[in-house]
Amino acid sequence: MPTPTLHLLCGKIAAGKSTLADRLAAAPATVAIAEDAWLSRLYGDEITSVQDYVRCSTRLRDAMGGHVEALLRAGLSVVLDFPANTVATRQWMHGIFEAAGAAHRLHYLDVPDAVCKARLKERNRAGTHAFAASDAEFDAITSRFVPPSTEERFNVIVHAER
């Protein structure tokens, strides 16, 4: 039986994290947990700003950590489709796979802002995503983005797109 693996996703808005999550979750004994789906179901009407997102996503992380750890301990791999875009968020994720004794992979989607913004505009136009973000919100959220560093001790897989 393969070692359960926690797959983590790092990338800006519309970099392709959820698309990659869907591909990874197609593997046997693998479950995806998507932050956007949970946030829209639990807090959809409450999220109208970046500050609202931060507040609600923090609450969701607090609720999900133990659950993800339990799934890993039960032998399932998990694709955690939560943005691993800051050092603090990645530290939380690091604690989950360490506590579970699971393997991990941090998938870093290195996609230029212009590509992400074009995808975001199309996604907003199509109405296929639970949340629509403006260019200003993209810029505000991206200003907090920190690529993973070697000091963080992750097994990083880079998915570069130019």
All structural domains of the chain with their residue ranges: 5-160
CATH of the domain spanning 5-160 = 3.40.50.300
Confidence of residue 60 (pLDDT cuts 50, 70, 90): very high
The pLDDT tens digits of the residues spanning 92-147 come to 999 999 999 999 999 999 999 999 999 988 887 877 766 677 888 888 889 999 99
pTM comes to: 0.91
Distance, CA of 85 to CA of 30 (rounded, Å):
22
| 3-state secondary structure (DSSP) of residue 86 | coil
Give CA torsion, residues 54, 56, 60, 62, to 10 deg. 70
Name which residue leads in pLDDT, 140 or 72: 72
pLDDT for 59 equals 94
Q: Residue 14: left (phi > 0), alpha (psi -120 to 50), or beta?
A: left
What lies within 8 Å, CB to CB, of 127 at 6+ separation is none
pLDDT in tens, 1-23: 679 999 999 999 999 999 999 99
Structure tokens at 59: 């609450």
Name the H helices within 4-112: 17-25, 35-43, 50-73, 87-100
